[in-house]
């Protein structure tokens, strides 16, 4: 199977005091292995919501109404439906197999912990097994070279430590180590886990090209610049080598030079880890730079999906065309899209774009256009192209 | 190590907090060394009962044997205020410790989960908050019977809702922060998110209020004792000592300050105790809150 993630009929509604908001409407989306998929659209069109739905992070009054999200973690296994599994299982996936980079790095980091603590928290959560094995190895090594008097004295402690770690290795949720971890002083026995996690966190910070990473690991978020913070956030997201990375406008709050560095970093890490990326942005330039395929969203549904070169060279949907025309170019007046974004409480009937569309026809007012493949790998939801397949028009 | 140095730096910057720490340390030393500072007289059975030297209702001024004099009923003022420090700590720390525990647990649950649970817990606090603390504590003490332990229970029942509310409010604000969402996105459990990500960012106002309230609790306990609802007669308790001096605040005509020591000395102990905790509360805020340390 080629798809990593398959979203079918995803509908998300918000039950507010003013009424029910249909935030996502029957969304279908496929993300392939090792590709970068860009999701573009105006503010409030549901890009972030799509991402949060994948991780099941939508909180009340929002609710995932229907649909399924199949995630194909290992290509051998049967894909799992993220919307059908239990809370424990989704928690094990979050951060380890699917992780997310948030838009504002300064607020995505907890102000009261050092960078090193925050990166190692993810490692402690999801890579416990590895840490335990490393700790046992280290203990065995120090047990092997017993010759001095001090070592003989410390041996009973080391043995106690080792039995503790072995218990965790057998069953990561076993009760005894968890109790020990809560008792002051005695929990020093589990310190090795933390130390190993710290080491891994520092090497992770090195990997996201943070200079002097040992010092940075001891610093608090407010002591770093925006670019460094975003690198730390990326380090957190990639600490467990996720199969699927969601990047929610990771460069919006950064200036262009830093933005370029971050994009380059993301591209390198993505290809090294062979993971897929869902890149959410409203910056069409950035999307062109990093994405393989792009989906254009409008008012809670997708209107066009195409390969990136195809989309920019040959946009078909009237909204995509308008969006591209609205990008400011030197020496040219940008063309604003007429009208305003529809009120989500009171969406227009039929195609959501028809009140602002220059090519609206009668049927647009009544029926929602279905998504169909107009050209190879070029999907579009517009009545103007209904019935046409294969060859391109206009 | 850097954090310790930072703490000391913060303290040096704010001399008032040093005064607070000195006052509270002094009280702690007094409480610990009470048997040495004011040894119970020979044959005195319960050291927590103030020894009395006669039965005359008229207070006697400070003298060689009783350096702060004796109050109504010939109770030794010096012995009373020194040992009373222990009662003050006992009331203050037990009440605030318990109230903090209840407040943090219920407030976190209400604030984090919201919805129906929040509604239930908050309506219960509303019921308690509808009564003035002193009146509610009085009613409970009367119902349970006057004793210091019952005063403690009454004060706990009367003051936990304020803490639950305060914590809940701060948690509501922090819960919406991106890093909490990010922590959920990293696969943290509810317990982990509350204890590791939300509480450390929202607990400081509550800790400051708690340290300010230790003084306030001691005052309320003293007020209950003053009204005759607190400790048994003769128990080492500042409030009760002031209640004994009720009739001796103003002396005989021509010498209004004749019995000043009966009310001033226990009053000063209460004053400094409360002042110390207040100053310490400010110091706590400066030291503990990492968000203030971004310099």
How far off is chain B from A290, nearest CA to CA, in Å?
23
* pLDDT of res. B291: 58
Q: What angle do CA A52, A54, A59 make, to 5 degrees?
A: 40
Q: Are strands A80-81 and A378-380 parallel, antiparallel or unpaired?
A: unpaired
By C-alpha distance, the chain B residue nearest A237 is B186
Q: Which helix (H) or strand (E) holds A98?
A: strand A98-101
Residue A135 CA: distances (Å) to CA of A127, A161, A189, A200:
13, 9, 11, 13
- Cβ–Cβ under 8 Å, residues A157 and A271: no
* pLDDT of res. A392: 42
CB atoms within 10 A of CB A166: 14
- Cβ–Cβ under 8 Å, residues B197 and B181: no
- Nearest by CB to residue A57, choosing from B115, B184, B197, is B184
Instruction: Say which residue, B282 or B135, is predicted with more confidence.
Output: B135
pLDDT in tens, A143-162: 776 666 666 666 777 777 77
Query: In angstroms, rounded to a whole number, what is the distance separating the alpha carbons of residues A373 and A9?
Result: 17
Does B292 have pLDDT greater than 70? no
Architecture of domain A3-112+220-291: 3-Layer(aba) Sandwich (3.40)
| B186 Cβ under 8 Å from any chain A Cβ | yes
How far off is chain B from A318, nearest CA to CA, in Å?
35
pLDDT in tens, A32-63: 888 899 998 888 788 888 888 888 888 878 88
Query: In angstroms, rounded to a whole number, what is the distance separating the alpha carbons of residues B60 and A356?
Result: 95
Give the CATH fold of the B2-175+202-293 domain: MetI-like fold (1.10.3720)
- Cβ–Cβ under 8 Å, residues A280 and A290: no
Q: Do A92 and B181 touch (CB under 8 A)?
A: no
Domain ranges of chain A: 3-112+220-291, 116-200, 297-385
- Chunked into runs of 10 residues, chain A (394 residues) has average pLDDT values of 81 86 85 88 84 86 86 74 84 86 85 88 82 79 68 72 76 70 70 82 87 87 87 87 87 83 87 87 87 89 88 87 84 79 81 82 82 84 70 42
B291 contacts on A by Cβ (under 8 Å): 111-112
Q: Following DSSP, what letter does each residue of A139-195 receive, concatenated?
A: HHHHHHT--SHHHHHHHHHHHHHHHHHHHHHH-TT-HHHHHHTTSTTGGGGGHHHHH
Q: Are strands A80-81 and A98-101 parallel, antiparallel or unpaired?
A: unpaired
By C-alpha distance, the chain B residue nearest A239 is B186
Name the token pair of B277. Answer: 């905790």
| B188 Cβ under 8 Å from any chain A Cβ | yes
This model of the complex carries an ipTM of 0.77
How far off is chain A from B293, nearest CA to CA, in Å?
10
| B179 Cβ under 8 Å from any chain A Cβ | yes
- Nearest by CB to residue B185, choosing from A60, A100, A223, is A100
Domain ranges of chain B: 2-175+202-293
Q: Do A94 and B187 touch (CB under 8 A)?
A: yes
B197 contacts on A by Cβ (under 8 Å): 110
First to last CA, chain B: 17
Identify the burial level of B18 via C-beta atoms within 10 angstroms of its C-beta, where 0-12 means exposed, 13-18 middle and 19 or more buried: middle
Q: Do A107 and B178 touch (CB under 8 A)?
A: yes
* pLDDT of res. A394: 41
Residue A147 CA: distances (Å) to CA of A144, A155, A158:
9, 11, 15
B183 contacts on A by Cβ (under 8 Å): 110
Q: Do A107 and B177 touch (CB under 8 A)?
A: yes
* pLDDT of res. A369: 85
């Amino acid at each position: 199977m080629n798809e990593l993630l398959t979203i079918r009929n995803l509908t998300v509604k918000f039950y507010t005091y003013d009424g029910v908001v249909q935030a996502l409407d029957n969304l279908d989306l496929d993300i392939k292995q090792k590709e970068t998929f860009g999701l573009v659209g105006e503010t409030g069109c549901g890009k972030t919501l799509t991402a949060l739905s994948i991780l099941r992070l939508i909180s009340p009054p929002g609710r995932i109404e229907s649909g399924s999200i199949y995630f194909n973690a290992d290509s051998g296994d049967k894909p799992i439906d993220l919307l059908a599994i239990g809370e424990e299982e989704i928690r094990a996936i979050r951060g380890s197999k699917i992780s997310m980079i948030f838009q504002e790095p300064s607020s995505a980091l907890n102000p009261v912990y050092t960078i090193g603590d925050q990166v190692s928290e993810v490692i402690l959560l999801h890579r416990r097994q590895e840490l335990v094995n490393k700790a046992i190895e280290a203990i065995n090594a120090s047990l092997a070279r017993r010759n001095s008097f001090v070592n003989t004295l410390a041996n009973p402690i080391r043995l106690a430590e080792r039995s503790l770690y072995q218990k965790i290795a057998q069953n990561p949720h076993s009760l005894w180590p968890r109790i020990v971890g809560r008792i002051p002083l005695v929990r020093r026995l589990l310190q090795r886990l933390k130390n190993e996690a710290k080491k891994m966190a520092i090497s992770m910070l090195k990997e996201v090209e943070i200079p002097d990473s040992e010092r940075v690991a001891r610093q608090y978020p407010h002591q770093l610049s925006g670019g460094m913070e975003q690198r730390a956030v990326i380090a957190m997201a990639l600490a467990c080598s996720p199969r699927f990375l969601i990047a929610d406008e990771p460069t919006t709050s950064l200036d262009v030079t830093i933005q370029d560095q971050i994009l380059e970093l993301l591209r390198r890490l993505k290809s090294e880890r062979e993971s897929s990326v869902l890149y959410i942005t409203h910056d069409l330039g950035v999307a062109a730079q990093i994405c393989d395929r792009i989906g254009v969203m409008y008012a809670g549904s997708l209107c066009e999906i195409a390969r990136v070169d195809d989309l920019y060279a040959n946009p078909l949907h009237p909204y995509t065309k308008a969006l591209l025309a609205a990008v400011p170019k030197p020496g040219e007046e940008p063309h604003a899209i007429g009208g305003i974004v529809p009120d989500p409480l009171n969406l227009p009937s039929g195609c959501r774009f028809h009140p602002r569309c220059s090519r609206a026809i009668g049927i647009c007012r009544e029926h929602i256009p279905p998504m169909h493949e107009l050209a190879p790998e070029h999907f579009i939801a517009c009545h103007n192209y209904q019935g046409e397949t294969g060859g391109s028009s206009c | 190590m850097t954090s310790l140095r930072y703490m000391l730096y913060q303290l040096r910057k704010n001399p008032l907090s040093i005064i607070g720490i000195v006052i509270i340390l002094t009280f702690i030393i007094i409480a610990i060394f009470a048997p040495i500072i004011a040894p119970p007289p020979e044959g005195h059975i319960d050291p927590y009962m103030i020894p009395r030297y006669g039965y005359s209702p008229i207070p006697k001024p400070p003298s060689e044997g009783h350096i702060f004099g004796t109050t109504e009923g010939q109770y030794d003022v010096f012995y009373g205020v020194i040992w009373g420090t222990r009662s003050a700590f006992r009331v203050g720390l037990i009440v605030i410790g318990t109230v903090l525990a209840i407040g943090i647990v219920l407030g976190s649950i209400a604030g984090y989960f919201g919805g129906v649970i929040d509604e239930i817990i908050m309506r219960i606090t509303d019921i308690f908050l509808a009564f003035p603390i002193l009146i509610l504590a009085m009613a409970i003490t009367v119902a349970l019977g006057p004793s210091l332990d019952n005063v403690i229970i009454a004060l706990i029942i009367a003051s936990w809702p304020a803490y639950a509310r305060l914590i809940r409010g701060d948690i509501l604000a922090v819960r919406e922060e991106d890093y909490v969402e990010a922590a959920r996105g990293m696969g943290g459990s509810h317990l982990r998110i509350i204890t590791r990500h939300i509480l450390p960012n929202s607990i400081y106002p509550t800790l400051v209020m708690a340290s300010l309230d230790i003084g306030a609790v001691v005052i309320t306990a003293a007020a209950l004792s003053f009204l005759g609802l607190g400790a048994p007669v003769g128990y080492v308790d500042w409030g009760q000592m002031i209640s004994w001096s009720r009739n001796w605040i103003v002396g005989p005509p021509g010498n209004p300050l004749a019995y000043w020591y009966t009310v001033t000395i226990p009053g000063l102990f209460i004053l400094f105790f409360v002042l110390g905790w207040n100053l310490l509360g400010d110091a706590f805020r400066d030291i503990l809150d990492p968000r203030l340390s971004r310099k």
